[in-house]
Chains A and B, each alone.
Chain A
Amino acid sequence: MTVYDDEILGKAYDGRLVRRLLGFVWPYKWELTLAILLMVGSALVELVPPYLIRTAIDGPIAQGNVAGVWPIFYLYVVTLVLSFVFRYLQTYMMQSMSQRVIIDIRMAIFRHIQRMSLGFFDRNPVGRLLTRITNDVDALNDFITQGTVALLGDLVRLLFIVMTMLVLSWRLALVAFLMFPIVIISTIIFQRIMRTTYRVMRQRLARINAYLNEQITGVLVTQLFRRETQSRHFFAEISREYLQSQFRSNNTFAVFFPTIYITSVMATAVLLTFGGQLVLNEYVTIGLLVAFIQYTDQAFQPIRQLADRYNTLQSAMASSERVFRVLDTPEDIKDPAQPHHLATPVRGEIAFQNVVFGYNPDEPVLKGVSFTIPAGQAVAVVGATGAGKTSLVSLMARFYDIQQGTITLDGIDIRAITQHTLRQHVGAVPQDPTCFSGTIRDNIRLHDHTIDDARVLWAAEISGAATFIQKLPGTYDYEVRERGSNLSVGQRQLLAFARAMAFNPEVLLILDEATSSVDTETEQVMQVAVQRLLKNRTSLVIAHRLSTIRYVDRILVLHRGKLVEDGTHEELLALNGYYARLYRLQYAEQLGGQSSE
C-alpha cells in the first residue's frame, strides 16, 4: 500500500514566503488595520474586570458602603458589553477579510493553471492540482486568521497583562510570574510530542481512507478472486496501527489537561501563600490579591495558544511553499508580444515543415515531418501505436511547442498568432470525449453564448447526436453528470462531434477512438457524422477504423516518427509498401482474427 503523504514540514517562519503571502493581504490593509485596532481594544478592555473587583473589595465593600457598589457594577457591565462588541467585530472583520484573500489566492492559482500547456497537466495529476487549490489554500486561511492577527493578539494580551500586574504591584507580580516557566515548558513539551503524534495519526488515517476507497471500488474483484480474508487482515492491521497512534495522542492529552489544572491550582496556592504574607505585611490589599488570581489565569491562555499557533504556521509555510511552486511554474507556451493576424476569411491551409518534437526533448516522437494540406482537404493519418499520430494533432492545436521546424496556418507560423486566435480556427475533438456537468445544451456550446439555441440544434442535427438527445428526458436540458457518467461512450462521442460543429472551425482535428466498445448501430451513426464533419473543411483525422479512411482525400502514413508514405488509398495500395501491409493486416483482423495467420 502506498501512503498519501504530501506533508513537508519545515520552518514555521520563512521571510520570503511570508512576504509573498502578505502581498495577497496588502489590498485589504485597511480592513486588517481595523481588525488589529479592535483586537488591541478588546485586549485593553479585558484588563478592566479584575481591577474593578479589586476596587470594589478594597473600596465600598471594605468600608461597608452598600450603595458604593452600584457605580462599579455599571462600569463592569459597560466593560463586558464593550468587550463583546470588540471581539465579535474583530472576528467578523478578520474572517471576512481572510475569505477574500483566500479567493484571490485560489483564483490566482486557477488562472495560472489555465495558462499552463498540456505538458504541465501530463506532469501533474489532477488529484495533486486539486489539493493545491483546496487543502493548501485552506491552510493559508489558517495562516491569515491565526498566524497574523491572532498571533499578534496573543502577544499583545500577554504583554498588557504582565505590564498591568507590574504597575499594580511589582512584588505580587513577581510572585505570580513564578508559575509562568512551568506553564511555558510544559506547553512546549506537549506541543513537541503532539506534533509528531498528529503527523503519524494523519498518515495512518490517510492510509485507511485510501485502502477503504480502493476496496469499496474494487470489492467485486476481491469477492470474485476470493481475497476477502487477506483484505480483512490487512485492514485490521492498518486500523490497529491507527488505533495505537490514537491511544498515544489520548495518553498525551490525558497528562496535559490535568497538568494545566494542577498548574493553575498551584498558581493560586502560591499567590495566596506569598501574596497572603504580603497582605499581612501591608504591602498589598486583599482586593489586589483577588484580582491577581484572575490576572494570572488570564495570562495562561495566550501562553498555551502561542504554542498552538506554531503548528499552524508550520503547516501554512509548507502549503504556501507548494502553492508558490505552482504559481512560479513558467508558462511554457506563450503568446507573442505582438501577435500577427490571420487574413480573413481564414482558408485553412496547413503546413508542417521539418517538424521535430518529443514530450521529452531527448526522445523525439516526430523526427522531421513535412507536409502541406491545401484548404478544404480531408487527410487521414495512419500508423502503428506510438508512431506519433496523436502528437501531430496536439501540435497543430499548439498544445505543445515543437523543438525544431515550423507549423503554419495560411502561411503564418502558429507561434506568431495568439493561442486564442489559433484555436478559434483550429478545432480539436479529443480522443476521450469530455463531458461537463451541466445541460446537454451547455455541453455543446460550452460557455460561448454567441452560439444560440438554433445553432446548437443545427449542430446536434448535423452530427447525428439529435437522435439520442430527443430520447432523453428534457432533451437539450437533460442534466449531464460529472464526466458524462450518465451517457454512453458513443453518446459522448456524438456530443463531442456536435460541439465541434457548433464552433465550426476552418480546420478540424479529429482523434478517432480506438475502442470497439460502441455497438454497430451507434458506430454507423458516428461514421455518418464524421463524413459530414469533414465536408468542405481542412481536416486531419487520426484513423483507427478502416471505414473512416474511405471519406478522406489523402492518407499520410507515419512510421516511427517519420512520414513514410503519402497519397490516396488506391495509390498507396498500389505502392504495396507499409500502408498496404498495415491495411491487409487490419482488414484481415476486422474480418476475424483466425484468418490472419
Chain B
Amino acid sequence: MTLRLILVLSAVLAGCRIEAVSPQAQGPVSQSPSGDVWIYTSMYRPVVDALEPLLAKQLPEVKVRWYQAGSEKVLARLEAELAAGGSQADVIATSDPFLYARFKEEGRWLKYVSPNSQRIPRSLVDLDGEYAALRVSTMVLVTREGIEGPASFEALEDPKWKGNVALGDPLTSGTAFTWAVFMEEAYGAAWFQKLRDNGARIAGGNAAVLQKLEGKEADVGVLLLENALIARGKGSPIAIHWPTDGAVTIPGFAGILKSTRHARAAQAVIDVLLSEAGQAAIVAGDMHAADPRLAGPRGQEGLEALIAKARPWDEAMQLRGNTDGARVKQVFSGAFSK
C-alpha cells in the first residue's frame, strides 16, 4: 500500500515537472473532437479489436484507423513515409521504446499530457510530456512444465542448460534487442560469448522462441510474458519463471506526431487509451496496463509488483539503446557468429 502511495506520489511529482495538463482537457470541452486518426501500432489484433468499439463509443465523431504490424514493420513503414515527405500517422503506439527517445531528439512529437496519465509511474512517461506508456511488456524465462527453470537470466550460462537455451534475435526483434541491451549492461559483452559457448540458439522472434520450447528444441527460453500467457491460455504446457536478477520490462509508449492534422482528436484517443476502460482492454490483451490500479493479465500481479520484480527502466537506459545499440548488436552477433 505504501508502495502504491509512493508511486502515485512520485507520479504526481513527475506530473508537476510535466507541463500543465493541456487546457482543452480541463473543464467542459467546447467542441467534441472529430476527424480521422491513424494509429500505427504493434499491439496485437485482439487488443485492437477490443479497443475499437470503446473508441467508437467514447468518440463518435472520430474515425480511428489502424495499421497493425510488428514494431519493426511499423517503424519501417513510418521511416519510408517520413522520408517521402510525410506520414499520415497521427498516433504511434509500438513496443520499441528507443524509437520514442529518438523521435524526441528529432523533434517529431506533439507535446501532450493526458489527464489520465498522471497515475503512470514516472519511469514510464517522458518528463517533457512528449509521450507516455500505454502498457508494459516483460521478458521472462519460460520452460516447459515440469522443468525446474533457471533462477536468473545469468544462470543461462550454467552447463546444466548446455544446448538447450533459445533466445530472440536482437538483430531483427525489438524485444530481444531491448533484452540484450539490459544484459550487456549487467553482465558485459563476454556474457554473450559464454551463452554461445553453452550452445544457446537464436530462434528469431518471440513466436519462434515459443515454438522451440513447445517443440522440445530447447528447454528454456527468453520470451515475452504476453506470448507465454496467451500460449498457456490455449493449453500450451509451458511454465513462466521470474528471474531473480530482474525481468526486463519494455514500456509500450504512445505519442502523437507533430504533423497530425487532427491534434484534438488524437489527444482524445490517447485519453481513451489511458482511461480505465482502455487500460482494461490492454490487460485483457495479456499485457500489463500502465495504470497501476489495474491487476496484471491472467491473474498476474499489477504494475507495481511487476516493477519491483524487474530491472529498473529509466531514461538513461532508453538513451543507451540509441547511442549504444549498434555496438550491442555487433557484440551479440560477433559472439554468435563464431
Report whether chain A binds chain B: no
Which B residues fall within an 8 A CB radius of A? none
